[in-house]
């Protein structure tokens, strides 16, 4: 049940309407003019206001306009003496929920208030969910930051002992080569290789955790310039290969250019890598998102992946292809996702095995 305010200079109407609504279980307050009504609204949590259109001094429509600014979520029902199309249109345009004509019947008053209450309640619920949502997002962002700080300190501290393992294994292998049996040297080689790989993984983690600490430097960026620069840097990787690039103009969007460069470096190097042994003519397309959404998509015609594992795609160290087939450590897409999240955007992918992959990057307009 709602908290209803009735505003009318005619006492008989205030009394009748109040009676109708009290019977329905609403809490009802009355006011005889707009000034009194505004005072009530300041002090009480009113859901619905029913106001006369024509009152001395301040009219109902003016009250409605003031009220829209002061309490935008209150629903307003106008009560009109002669329901002309003009007053009705003016009220609705000024943000009234509905209007009813005098003499007000019980059925119509009760029904209109009940509808206005439904809209008010739904609006309240929606705003509550939005506030919850925002709070959860902020909590999540804090957790991610804590996790990043943890990752940073752990990976940072792991580097020194790992360097020792690597260095002393090498000394052992080189200095005592003659005294070691062949399989002993073989084991040491394995230790050294594993330690080097672990170093690569730790460095990747360290870079990933640094992303969250960096202040975003948002400006309007011509993404096509970044794409050209990244493409030029990939030249050594694509030497001897013939790649058909289709690069369309991406609309400018506010973002951090340095981080966007990391995004394109990862997406384009993946596109180049996962098309390298498909046998077909390689085609890589970069174009804007449909429906003028800010962002872009990167498509290739390479080996693709099984969508069954799509949720793993952006996880740290998660890879869908064997290291023997395609080199990599599996932090590229995790990095891209982190950057896109920091831009309040979203990344997702579509693919089919041997039919290429498309990565969609939505960026926020703000």
Ligand X SMILES: Nc1ncnc2c1ncn2[C@@H]1O[C@H](COP(=O)(O)OP(=O)(O)O)[C@@H](O)[C@H]1O
Going by C-alpha positions, the residue among 78, 76, 81 that lies closest to residue 102 is 81
Minimal distance, residue 233 CB to ligand X, in Å = 16
Going by C-alpha positions, the residue among 161, 74, 154, 70 that lies closest to residue 113 is 74
Answer for which of 260, 339, 357, 361 binds ligand X (CB under 6 A) is 357
338 binds ligand X (CB under 6 A): no
208 binds ligand X (CB under 6 A): no
| Binding partner of 313, given Mg ion, ligand X, none, CB within 5-8 angstroms per partner class | ligand X
DSSP string, 130-192: HHHHHHHHHHHHHHHHHHHHHHHHHHHHHHHHHHHHHHHHHHHHHHTTTTS-HHHHHHHHHHH
Q: Which is nearer to ligand X, 250 or 349 (CB)?
A: 349
Minimal distance, residue 179 CB to ligand X, in Å = 39
Minimal distance, residue 340 CB to ligand X, in Å = 13
Q: How far apart are CA 190 and CA 103, in angstroms?
A: 93
Q: How far apart are CA 292 and CA 252, in angstroms?
A: 11
332 binds ligand X (CB under 6 A): yes
Q: How far apart are CA 271 and CA 304, in angstroms?
A: 10
| Site size toward ligand X, by CB under 6 A | 21
Rg (CA), the chain: 33
Q: Which of helix, strand or coil describes residue 234?
A: coil
Say if CB 286 and CB 296 are below 8 A apart: yes
Show the binding pattern over residues 12-31: x = contacts ligand X (CB under 6 A), - = does not. Answer: --------------------
Q: Which is nearer to ligand X, 5 or 336 (CB)?
A: 336
Q: Which is nearer to ligand X, 8 or 300 (CB)?
A: 300
Which of positions 253-282 make contact with ligand X (CB under 6 A)? Answer: 266, 270-271, 274
Q: Which is nearer to ligand X, 49 or 303 (CB)?
A: 303
321 binds ligand X (CB under 6 A): yes
Residues that bind ligand X (CB under 6 A): 266, 270-271, 274, 300, 302-305, 313, 319-321, 328-334, 357
């Amino acid at each position: 049940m709602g908290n209803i305010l009735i505003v009318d200079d005619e006492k008989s109407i205030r009394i009748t309407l109040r009676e109708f609504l009290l019977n329905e279980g609403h809490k009802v307050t009355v006011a005889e003019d707009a000034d009194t009504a505004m005072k009530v609204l300041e002090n009480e949590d009113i859901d619905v206001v029913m106001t006369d259109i024509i009152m001395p001094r301040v009219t109902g429509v003016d009250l409605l306009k003031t009220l829209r600014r002061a309490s935008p979520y209150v629903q307003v029902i106008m009560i009109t003496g002669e329901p002309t199309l003009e007053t009705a249109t003016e009220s609705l345009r000024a943000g009234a929920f509905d209007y009813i004509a005098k003499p007000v019947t019980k059925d119509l008053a009760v029904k209109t208030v009940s509808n206005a209450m439904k809209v008010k309640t739904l609006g309240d619920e929606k705003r509550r969910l939005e506030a919850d949502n925002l709070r959860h997002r902020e909590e999540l962002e804090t957790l991610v930051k804590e996790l990043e700080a943890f990752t940073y300190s752990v990976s940072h501290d792991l580097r020194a002992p790992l360097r020792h393992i690597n260095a002393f294994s090498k000394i052992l292998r080189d200095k005592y080569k003659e005294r070691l049996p062949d399989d002993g040297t073989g084991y040491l080689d394995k230790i050294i290789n594993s330690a080097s790989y672990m170093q690569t993984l730790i460095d990747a983690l360290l870079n990933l955790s640094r992303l969250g600490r960096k202040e975003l430097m948002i400006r309007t960026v011509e993404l096509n310039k970044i794409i050209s620069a990244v493409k030029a840097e990939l030249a050594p990787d694509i030497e001897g290969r013939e790649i058909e690039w289709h690069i369309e103009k991406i609309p400018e969007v506010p973002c951090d250019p340095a981080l966007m460069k990391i995004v394109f470096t990862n997406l384009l190097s993946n596109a180049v890598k996962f098309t390298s042994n498909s046998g077909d003519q390689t085609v890589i397309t970069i174009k804007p998102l449909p429906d003028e959404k800010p962002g872009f998509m990167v498509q290739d015609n390479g080996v693709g992946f099984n969508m069954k594992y799509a949720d793993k795609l952006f996880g740290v160290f998660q890879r869908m292809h064997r290291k023997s087939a395609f080199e990599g450590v599996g932090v590229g897409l995790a990095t891209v996702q982190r950057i896109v999240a920091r831009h309040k955007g979203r990344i997702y992918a579509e693919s089919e095995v041997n039919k290429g992959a498309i990565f969609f990057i939505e960026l926020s307009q703000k």
